[in-house]
Amino acid sequence: MDRRDFAKSSLLLGIGVLTGSTQCNKQRTVNQLMNYYREPAKNLPVREFDVVIAGGGTAGVVAALAAARQGAKTILIEMKGYPGGTVVEGGTALHSFYNLWKAFPGVEKRQVVSGIPQEIIDRLLIAGGTTGHAEMLKGYDYDSICTAIDTEIYKLVTFEMLQEAGIFVCVNTLLAGAIMEGSRVRGVITESRSGREAIYAKSFVDCTAYGDLSAHAGADYTEPNDYPVVNSIGVGNVSVEKYYEYLKSHDAVNHYCEGLRSGKEGQIVRLSGISKNLPIEFTEAAGKIGMSTVTTTVHDNYFMFIKLNFKMPVSPTNRDEVAKAELELRKRQAKAIELFREYVPGCEKAFITRTSPSLNIRRGRLITCDYDVKLSDVLEGRHFDDDIMAYGFHDSAPRLQIKDGGTYGIPYKALRVAGIENLLAAGMMITSDHDAHMSTRNTVSCMGQGQAAGTAAALCAGKNCGTRELSYSHLRKTLENGGVYFES
């Protein structure tokens, strides 16, 4: 993908569907056959802030809180009606606040992500919206801790926290363009029912998951399209205990975890099954719709997440292919309920209680930053002289695990969007290597990155400097004061 093409076409012609490499070329051919309409120039109302956080999801919520707590006048731009992003739509649990101590006997248990992410969990606990940090009793070579959340309470609690921090929260607002002054972002353009606006600021953080702001700003990126898209469902009127007995009767319990559920400790909060041990008719039918048997829950009689997967032929930045995938996933959701009703005891009257407003993916655009975290950095537990956090989970464990149940560091340079003076990226849009990304993209990592990026953006705005001029020792001290845990 030619970055200049994207920025130019999306800004000047209003075409936002050019996609990566091969696909991009096809799309360009189609566009050349089309007539163009030249949008008349118009004056937009301008608002001024210190920091713009684009995207109010997993990383963005934390980034906005961190920026505002440094005294920066902060705006959060979120296209949906609530904060939370993929953490309330796709992921089954938050991985992982702790190192993988249980898989490595003798290794000390330590909480490696704290700060604002932990504060969110504390607030959720009070509101009855999490299992807390529940220890895995089976499958702990995968993770030691499972922190499941109530998706709806998460939306409310984080919304309230944003408001308490004095952040200007714009939900139902699409970030639709970037205003550039050379290699510096001057502002962004937003669209909402209140109209089109220009938002000026000193520092910007892209937390849109797909890197929309970076792409509009002309940053380089790739689109690997190496994951299925997913729309997970919440399933109500089920018996968690009977599902467990069903898996157990087939010797198919893979992950098992007990924690706080419906206000009572010691309840099953995470389950996953080993497909090959389950009846072939069930697993074959489940396989056809890309259904995973892993679920978590915070409530009795409820599976918070059942995932339905579908592999798209092209990158999910292609609107028309996404439309087909959205329909296909909804058909798969209906089929999944049929399967649970037919095969799983205690689920005879199950029904869908929640779907995501749109499909999710583990990575869309990958934005080129000053440093690209490598798999060897993750597996060897490498720390950098500009660490902004420590992290100790890999989604492919036990196949891939961080050395000695320890942690690696995510460096500040991995958040700095290459070639742009005042733009940071946080969340699933960083890290190009597939296997390294299977660690850095996880929820708690994204949250930690958000705290660092929001803090750095605020400090840069305060000093009127670019992201590369910020003193690391200043950033580090401020992060430590914000409760961030460091190992080196």
Ligand X SMILES: Cc1cc2nc3c(=O)[nH]c(=O)nc-3n(C[C@H](O)[C@H](O)[C@H](O)COP(=O)(O)OP(=O)(O)OC[C@H]3O[C@@H](n4cnc5c(N)ncnc54)[C@H](O)[C@@H]3O)c2cc1C
241-258 per-residue burial string, b: 16 or more CB within 10 A, e: under 16: eebbebbeeeebbbbbbb
Find the shortest distance in angstroms from Cβ 399 to ligand X. Answer: 17
Helices (H), 224-279: 240-249
Q: Is 138 exposed, middle or buried (0-12, 13-18, 19+ CB in 10 A)?
A: middle
| Residue 464: partners with Cβ closer than 8 Å, 6 or more residues away | 202
User: Which residues sit at the interface with ligand X, rule CB under 6 A?
Assistant: 55-60, 77-80, 85-87, 90-95, 174-175, 207-210, 212, 230, 232, 307, 360-362, 427-428, 441-443, 446
357-395 per-residue burial string, b: 16 or more CB within 10 A, e: under 16: eebbbbbbbbbbbebbbbbebbbebbbbebbbbbbbbbb
Q: Residue 246 or 305: which CB sits closer to ligand X?
A: 305
Residue least distant from ligand X (Cβ): 57
Q: Residue 229 or 314: which CB sits closer to ligand X?
A: 229
How many residues in total does the chain contain? Answer: 488
Find the shortest distance in angstroms from Cβ 344 to ligand X. Answer: 21
Maximum CA extent, the chain = 67
Rama region for 141: left / alpha / beta (φ>0; ψ in -120 to 50; rest): alpha
The token duo for 375 is 């798999």
Q: Residue 77 or 457: which CB sits closer to ligand X?
A: 77
Q: Residue 62 or 68: which CB sits closer to ligand X?
A: 62
Find the shortest distance in angstroms from Cβ 12 to ligand X. Answer: 18
d(CA 420, CA 418): 6
Find the shortest distance in angstroms from Cβ 464 to ligand X. Answer: 26
Continuous segment of H or E residues that includes residue 7: helix 3-8
d(CA 122, CA 164): 16
Q: Which of 449, 429, 425 is nearest to 362 (CA)?
A: 429
Find the shortest distance in angstroms from Cβ 231 to ligand X. Answer: 8
Find the shortest distance in angstroms from Cβ 174 to ligand X. Answer: 5
Q: Residue 94 or 346: which CB sits closer to ligand X?
A: 94
d(CA 330, CA 468): 45
| CA distances in angstroms from 141 to 83, 137, 248, 413, listed in the order given | 32, 10, 19, 31
Find the shortest distance in angstroms from Cβ 279 to ligand X. Answer: 25
Q: Residue 443 or 467: which CB sits closer to ligand X?
A: 443
The token duo for 158 is 């984080």
**CB of 182 within 8 A of CB of 85?**
no
Q: Residue 317 or 478: which CB sits closer to ligand X?
A: 317
Q: Which of 411, 417, 415 is nearest to 368 (CA)?
A: 417
Q: Residue 55 or 273: which CB sits closer to ligand X?
A: 55
d(CA 22, CA 314): 9
Find the shortest distance in angstroms from Cβ 325 to ligand X. Answer: 13
Find the shortest distance in angstroms from Cβ 205 to ligand X. Answer: 11
Q: Residue 203 or 439: which CB sits closer to ligand X?
A: 439
Q: Which of 117, 110, 147, 133 is nearest to 406 (CA)?
A: 110
Q: Residue 133 or 346: which CB sits closer to ligand X?
A: 133
The token duo for 204 is 């910007």
Q: Residue 111 or 237: which CB sits closer to ligand X?
A: 111
Q: Residue 207 or 346: which CB sits closer to ligand X?
A: 207
SS3 (DSSP) at 234: strand
